[in-house]
Amino acid sequence: MIGSLRGTVLERSADGHVLLEVSGVGYVVHVAPRTLAELEPTSTAFVHVHHHIREGDQTLYGFLTRDERATFQDLIGAHGVGPALAMAILATHPPATLVDLVANGDVAALTMVPGVGKKTAERLLGELKGRLALPTLEATGDSGVLSDLREALIGLGYAESEIREVMRDIPDDLRTSRSTEDMLRHSLSQLAARRA
């Protein structure tokens, strides 16, 4: 089993994989969009790997942090969640955000993931509550920050597709600040720039 790789990025493709050369061997590693953006061709990279083996097929999934890999593994352990859906979930919601929305039972946020409808989201929330390391209520502070942000943007007349894209791109420092106002300000400036 391959647990991690360190090597040179030879190429990356828009469909979400990189070719990483390690000691003369090229490994095709599937990554999320945020990870893909970090892995510049000719740069040296280190990725935590989930080596997925199923019915004679082997696929490598790469992550920049152990937390991302652990969350991916929790996701694929849930009923009906394969690697493709797990990657789509992580592309939409980084681990900390996913933990928050599961803790808060935020069905609407989970349906922002392409291919996840309301019934699937409800089932997943129930399953993931038993799998993810959820914070206590005291630790979550102001719950539903992302849900509040989403509702505010809907109230301002933005389309679901625009909201999904802009929420996907909220920087990690803003996510950890848990300030709806700061996230709303950032989202509005991004939305204005995209419409310009």
117-157 pLDDT tens trace: 899 889 888 888 877 765 433 334 444 677 778 778 888 88
**Cα separation, 192 vs 107, whole angstroms:** 27
Residue 188, helix vs strand vs coil: helix
pTM of the model: 0.67
**Residue 179 clears pLDDT 80, i.e. is over it:** no
How does the average pLDDT of the chain come out, rounded? 83
Question: What is the per-residue pLDDT for 105?
Answer: 83
The one-character DSSP state at 196 is -
pLDDT (average), residues 149-178 = 75
Confidence of residue 26 (pLDDT cuts 50, 70, 90): very high
**Residue 104 clears pLDDT 90, i.e. is over it:** no
**Six token digits for residue 142:** 């102001």
pLDDT (average), residues 113-120 = 88
Confidence of residue 49 (pLDDT cuts 50, 70, 90): very high
pLDDT (average), residues 108-112 = 89
More confident residue, 184 or 159: 184
Question: What is the per-residue pLDDT for 178?
Answer: 67
**Residue 184 clears pLDDT 60, i.e. is over it:** yes
Question: What is the per-residue pLDDT for 133?
Answer: 60
C-alpha pair distances (Å), 188 with each of 59, 151, 170: 38, 13, 11
Residue 97, helix vs strand vs coil: helix
Quickly list H helices, the chain: 33-38, 66-76, 83-92, 95-103, 107-110, 118-129, 137-140, 145-155, 160-168, 172-177, 180-195
pLDDT (average), residues 77-88 = 89
